[in-house]
Amino acid sequence: PVTVRREDYAAPAYWIDTVDLSFDLDPVKTRVLNKMRLRRNPDVPAQALRLDGEELNLARVMLNGAGCSFKLDGETLVLENLPEGNEPFELEIFTTCAPEKNTQLMGLYVSEGTFFTQCEAEGFRRITYFLDRPDVMASYAVTLRADKTKFPVLLSNGNLVEEGELSDGRHFAKWVDPHKKPCYLFALVAGSLVSRNQRITTRSGKEHLLQIYVRPGDLEKTEHAMNALIHSVIWDEARFGLPLDLERFMIVATSDFNMGAMENKGLNIFNTKYVLGSPATATDVDFSNIESVVGHEYFHNWTGNRVTCRDWFQLSLKEGLTVFRDQEFSMDMCAEPSARAVKRIEDVRVLRTAQFPEDAGPMAHAIRPDTYVEISNFYSVTIYEKGAEVIRMVQTLVGRDGFAQGLKLYFERHDGQAVTCDDFIQAMADANPTSELARQLPQFKRWYSQAGTPVVHAQAAYDAAQRSYSLTLSQSCAPTPGQIQKEPYLIPVTLGLVDATGAAIPLQLGSDSPALGSNHTLVLNETHQTFTFVNVETEPVPSILRGFSAPVVLDIELSDAQLLTLLAHDSDAFNRWEAGQRLALRLALTAVRAEGAPPAQPLSDAYLDAMRTVLRHPQLDAAFKELVLTLPSETYIAEQLDVVDPQRIHAVRETMREQLAEALHGDWEWAFDAHKNNGAYQPDATSAGRRALAGLSLTMLCLAARENGSPVWPGKALQHFKDAGNMTDRFNALLALVSSGQPLAQDALARFHALFKGDALVIDKWFALQAGAPDRGGNILPAVRQLMKHADFQMKNPNRARSVIFSYCNANPGAFHRNDAAGYVFWSERVIELDAFNPQVAARLARALDRWKKLAEPYRTAARESIARVAAKPNLSNDVREVITRSLA
């Protein structure tokens, strides 16, 4: 495998100005005629033209209408004798490919009888020979020809300019994209589909056609996605002045897709999971995901498509920025300010449970990596979620208006270009010349080049005589692979001080300095820095890193009393939730570290009282309560430990859940009754929060019933399951029964399957719930093996494979990490099996043992042996090989 290095970037030796593609679509053998106009890049020394190709059958190459000499260097097509000088020339390449055999789902493939493409990052080379790199931008015209009965709908990027009949029952459509684009944004779809159509007029008075294409029968499940699309168009214009630049914007759903969705210009292709949603079949979480993924892909139209990446090392230029934009969009769609905070907490929870471990493991990389073997492995939580946090820090440093100004300047400078992360951040700094960002730009840029999660250590001292409060912040960052030494970061630390009654203390740094209000952002840019607040009348409780103002670990020693004060009173909802998490984490870690068997009652009375107060609180909203009352995950607890015993963590957390269930029994009963039955289903955040709290309450009540043997609540849960008017309530009732190990769960599972058989996305939930259920005596692995034998199980469908295998290996640590190593053996078998036909999905699964070096024995040795078994397999894909090699390094 070849390692690609960022520092080796060189501009392309040729430019491709126009591409005229003709497809004769046939699942077995598709013919592709690619006519390109190229010219030499005058800024680069003369050299041969080397076109990328993969799994193509080459039939013919013509230069300016005549035969020409060429050779194949591996899979690369090399043309050496091209016209000298800067005159454009025409190249015609005729190839065939086999879409039906394409199980990797990259390039042109067939899903349920429909043709789809996936070209990002390097899939276009599987369609035709090309300069498959994002800095080569061309104008595309595309003609599609196919059997009219089987493939009545023929779509590509841009505008439909011609269509008609051909002989032999075939027909054609010609599409022209008015915008230049890199080939990774090319798309075609051909199949039997129906569409929901919506005409809209945007601010400028322009008319646009929005369309969502799905299989016949799914149309009524597209209303929410269409609403999300309309809101996205309105929001991007209102918040950032970015209009829709297309007459026609299409979304097409497929059930075979490696990722969530793809932002092809004017023709987004989506995993059905992020398009289809009806109250009867989709949960609140699904509805919320549909909104954010539709937004995300739409926002790429500017951040990614109009301005794209110079090379794939710059991936976070478009992904981090677009995740930030979709997070802001989802927050702005919330009617209540408290719902914004809930969204922020959810986003941070993802970052800390998925990205922090990545940043501490063998695959750690900066948001702008320096090397890669397989770029698909770098579509990571670091590039996406940490990338978004870095953009969020930019907004914190320049302000909301300054950020909008910076984005405006970025587009003024770079519209139509392929650029770098440096170009982006420079535009932000130039638009905000007096900001801390501009003043300390080189230091801020370390966020782009350094991997790892910084730790900010906070130590405070109150001087009653001086009425001053000094806060010393110090920062460090552990070594990551290839980066031993880290330079200090520029870290915005938003904070407030709270007195014992919870009242905010006015902030002032030095007596001659201005009053700062009750919330202030300090800029930490040295290894150690002390900030002294004056006129502080009583010893305060510090509320630091409000809103999670930087992607760091905050190491601060707060007493239980201080945390309880913050939990009860902090005006910052994030830190209020965080105080509850810290209390629970402290209790969990104490129980995990204790000698001998885990304590039977790990939770303290103070903690239980505080949870009861939150649950019964008359002002707090239900969604926030649900977050506070959910214990930190097993993965998050594991990350706090140097040596991890997953079984013990699982046992401790389960005991904590049971104790919380029993101690608050009457409160859970009240909460369930007060929050169930919300009337007609609405997916808004407030109603969703009520359903979430009712669902958690029901789980707790079933859990308590397991301990006391009462059949009452399991019976009620089954009834609630049967009577449910929407999928959220139905699924939560099922979850309550399954996760508490109730015998009635089997009946409910069978009913659920019978009710929804044939609805793939719902059946995915059915599989995932069972594979992710809490382990009781090692029962989950045999259940997973059984599920793989189920008639509905399909390994080749990524959603289905994820629903069973990933739910077990990646999301169920208590069941996966077994004393007998059988979970790891299962994992290694599945990685190898998947790798034979879909390396991208296999490589994701291969990440499940990233943190094996932290495991206690016997897990550690067994895990290493399983990884070594995968490594020993000949002919592994580059994707899996890179993950496994790094893991063993």
Binding site for ligand HT7 (CB under 6 A): 118, 120-121, 258-259, 261-263, 296-297, 300, 319, 376, 379, 840
**Nearest CB to ligand HT7, comparing residues 355 and 450:** 355
Residue 840 binds: one of ligand HT7, Zn ion, none (C-beta under 5 to 8 A by kind): ligand HT7
Which residue is closest to ligand HT7 by CB?
A: 259
> Shortest Cβ distance from residue 26 to ligand HT7 (Å)?
24
Residue 499, helix vs strand vs coil? coil
Provide the b/e sequence for 505-537 (b: ≥16 CB within 10 Å).
Answer: bebbeeeeeeeeebbbbbbbbeeebebbbbebe
Considering the complex, what minimum distance in angstroms separates the CB of residue 112 from ligand HT7?
18
H or E element: which one contains 66?
strand 66-67
Residues 293-322 that bind Zn ion (CB under 5 A): 319, 322
Are 90 and 80 in contact, with CB atoms under 8 Å apart?
no
DSSP notation for 149-190 = TT--EEEESSEEEEEEE-STTEEEEEEE-SS-EEGGG--EEE
C-alpha–C-alpha distance, residues 631 and 694, integer Å: 16
CB of 538 to Zn ion, least distance (A): 48
Nearer to ligand HT7, 258 or 327 (CB): 258
How many Å from the N-terminal Cα to the C-terminal Cα in the chain? 16
* Closer by beta carbon to ligand HT7, 581 or else 810: 810
Distance of CA 247 to the CA centre of its chain: 29
Which residue in this structure is represented by tokens 């006391």? 708
Element (H, E) at 270: strand 267-271
Closest by CA to 17, choosing from 137, 134, 178, 119, is 137
Which partner, ligand HT7, Zn ion, none, binds residue 842 by CB below 5 to 8 Å per kind?
Answer: none
Q: How far is the CB of 259 from ligand HT7 (least distance, A)?
A: 4
Place of tokens 């109009």: 306
Say how far apart CA 880 and CA 858 lie, in whole Å.
25
Sign of CA dihedral 753, 756, 760, 763: negative
From ligand HT7, Zn ion, none, which one binds at residue 121 (CB under 5 to 8 Å depending on kind)? Answer: ligand HT7
At how many degrees (to 10) do helices 685-708 and 337-350 cross? 60
Whichever of 262 and 458 has its CB closer to ligand HT7, that residue is 262
Q: How far is the CB of 296 from Zn ion (least distance, A)?
A: 5
Among 829, 848, 746, 841, which residue's Cα sits nearest to residue 800?
841
DSSP classification of residue 2: P
* Partner in contact with 379, chosen from ligand HT7, Zn ion, none, beta carbon below 5 to 8 Å by kind: ligand HT7
838 binds, among Zn ion, ligand HT7, none (CB under 5 to 8 A by kind): none
By C-beta, is 322 or 770 nearer to Zn ion?
Answer: 322
Nearer to ligand HT7, 106 or 541 (CB): 106
Query: Phi first, then psi: what are they for 386, rounded to 5°?
Result: -70, -35
Secondary structure E strands in 186-264: 188-191, 194-201, 207-214, 248-254, 261-262
Binds 360: which of Zn ion, ligand HT7, none (CB < 5-8 Å by kind): none
Name the nearest CA neighbour of 737 among 718, 756, 709.
718
Q: Are 311 and 372 in contact (CB under 8 A)?
A: no
- Minimum distance between the CB of residue 522 and ligand HT7, rounded to whole angstroms? 33
Write down the least CB distance from residue 304 to ligand HT7, Å.
7
**Residue 132 Cβ, how far from ligand HT7 at the closest point, in Å?**
13
- In 3-state terms the chain splits into helix, strand, coil percentages (rounded to 5) of 45, 20, 35
Least distance (Å) between residue 378 CB and Zn ion: 13
Residue with Cβ nearer Zn ion (319 or 385):
319
Q: List the x/- string, 319-348, binding to Zn ion by CB under 5 A.
A: x--x--------------------------
Q: What does 259 bind: Zn ion, ligand HT7, none (CB cut-off 5 to 8 Å by kind)?
A: ligand HT7
Dihedral-angle region of residue 458 (phi above 0 means left; psi in -120 to 50 means alpha; beta otherwise):
beta
In degrees rounded to 5, what are phi and psi of residue 410?
-55, -45
**Tokens for 470?**
């000094």
Quick one: which of 196, 25, 202 has its CA closest to 116?
25
Total chain residues near Zn ion (CB under 5 A): 2
* In the complex, least distance from residue 264 CB atom to ligand HT7, rounded to whole angstroms: 9
CB of 526 to Zn ion, least distance (A): 35
**Two tokens, residue 859:** 């897990």
Other CB atoms within 10 Å distance of the CB of residue 465: 5
Residue among 377 and 575 whose Cβ is closer to Zn ion: 377
- Decide which of Zn ion, ligand HT7, none touches 261; Cβ closer than 5 to 8 Å per partner kind: ligand HT7
Candidate list 263, 297, 328, 634, residue with the active-site label: 297
Q: Which is nearer to ligand HT7, 350 or 872 (CB)?
A: 350
Distance (Å, rounded) from C-alpha 367 to C-alpha 374?
16
Q: Which residue, 356 or 379, has its beta carbon nearer to ligand HT7?
A: 379
Give the integer Cα–Cα distance in Å for 131 and 546. 46
Q: How far is the CB of 262 from ligand HT7 (least distance, A)?
A: 4
Closest CB to ligand HT7 among residues 270, 767: 270
SS3 15: strand
Alpha helices in 678-743 (DSSP H): 685-708, 712-723, 727-739
546 vs 179: CA distance, rounded Å? 42
**Binding site partner of 882, from ligand HT7, Zn ion, none, Cβ cut-off 5-8 A by kind:** none
Nearer to ligand HT7 among residue 300 and residue 365 (C-beta): 300
Question: Is there a catalytic annotation at residue 297?
Answer: yes
Provide the 3-class DSSP secondary structure of residue 758. Answer: coil
DSSP class of residue 853 equals G
CB 268 to Zn ion: min, Å: 11
In the bound state with Zn ion, the residue whose beta carbon lies nearer, of 311 and 319, is 319
Let me know how many helices (H) and strands (E) the chain has, helices first. Answer: 31, 33
Q: 239: buried, middle or exposed (CB in 10 Å: 19+, 13-18, 0-12)? A: middle
The DSSP string of 358-416 is HHTSTT---SS-SEES-GGGGSSHIIIIIHHHHHHHHHHHHHHHHHHHHHHHHHHHHTT
Give me the active site residues, please.
297
Applying CB under 5 A, the residues found at the interface with Zn ion are 319, 322
